[in-house]
Amino acid sequence: MPKGCERYTMEFCVEDENGEEVVYDVEFLISGADPGKLYGPPEDCWPPDPGDVEFFRVTEQKTGR
């Protein structure tokens, strides 16, 4: 992991074209991240430049269906 970066994993639920719920785990790095400012209006979030976020893994969870 690059120096000064923080690694995060978030879970996202989306509905596919058949109306089924699909859950994804998204892992990403943020350089110089302030976890308290990852949410909210864009002017309050860090990093201000989207180039400072690197997504490195998106995996679909197995739901057993």
* Tokens matching residue 51: 């180039």
Which DSSP string corresponds to 1-36? Answer: --TTEEEEEEEEEEE-TTS-EEEEEEEEEEET--GG
Higher pLDDT, 23 or 6: 23
> Position of tokens 């690694």?
7
List pLDDT tens digits, range 7-37.
Answer: 788 888 888 888 888 888 888 877 665 555 5
pLDDT attached to residue 36:
59
DSSP state of 64: -
Domain boundaries, the chain: 5-60
Asked if 46 contacts 33 with a C-beta cutoff of 8 angstroms, the reply is: yes
Per-residue pLDDT band for 42 (boundaries 50, 70, 90) equals: low
Tell me the sheet residues that pair with 55: 28
